[in-house]
Amino acid sequence: MVGWDIEPAYGISKHQLRYSLALEDAQQEALVNYNVNVLTREGYIGVILVTDSANFEQNRKQFEEHVLNNLTVNSGYTCGEFDASLDKKSELGLTGLILGGAGVAVAKKVGLLLLLKKGWIFIVAALAGAFGWLRRKLTGRKNALAASSTESPEAPTLSPAEEAYRQHAAGQESLSSAADDDPNKRSS
């Protein structure tokens, strides 16, 4: 994205938010992404023209003449028929439409932003776990350990954390086997 080609402007008479972004493709050719959001009683209709910069004005005239002039909102659903006593007002606003606020509005509704604010430690822990799993998958560490244990009778080298876990697990097994040999234990 290079920047604004046409800065956002709201046309009150037609209830349309118009703006365009100047873009460049992979070959560094100039493109224009022209957006028109037609506001309705229940939301908006997004109409988009993507064209090369050299032909933008010509294509925009055709787009407005053949597409926008033929776009009609059904009676009872136009923005002008909004009834504040019956209809719910959007919390998104015009700026939210421009910034792609639909995702923010949905996240706000389901409380995702609150979860992010209060549960960030759980999110960080989950991301760390996912990163570790991905690292093991990419490096093939478990496969290497399994292959080395089948090739040689020696035990594989373990990290201190793995060694501590192995000792803990062995201690639990010895406790349970000792309990099985306990002469005071009643058999059922």
pLDDT category at 114 given cuts 50, 70, 90 is low
Q: For the residues 165-188, what does the mean pLDDT come to? A: 59
* Interval 73-103: pLDDT, tens: 888 888 777 777 777 776 666 666 666 644 4
Q: For the residues 98-113, what does the mean pLDDT come to? A: 50
Is-contact 38 73, C-beta < 8 A? yes
How far apart are the C-alpha atoms of 47 and 68, rounded to whole Å?
8
List Cβ neighbours of 147 (8 Å cut-off, separation of 6 or more).
none
Greater pLDDT, 47 or 187: 47
pTM of the model: 0.49
Percent of the chain with pLDDT over 70: 57
pLDDT recorded at residue 104 = 46
Could you tell me the residue ranges of all domains in the chain?
3-87, 120-180
Please name the fold of domain 3-87.
Nuclear Transport Factor 2; Chain: A, (3.10.450)
How far apart are the C-alpha atoms of 175 and 88, rounded to whole Å?
65
125 has a pLDDT exceeding 60: yes
* Interval 11-60: pLDDT, tens: 888 888 898 888 888 888 899 989 998 888 877 888 889 989 999 999 99
| Mean predicted lDDT score pLDDT of the chain | 73
User: Which range in 27-41, 56-70, 154-168 is most confidently predicted, on average pLDDT?
Assistant: 56-70
Q: How many CA atoms lie within 13 A of 26 on its CB side?
A: 0
How far apart are the C-alpha atoms of 177 and 132, rounded to whole Å?
34
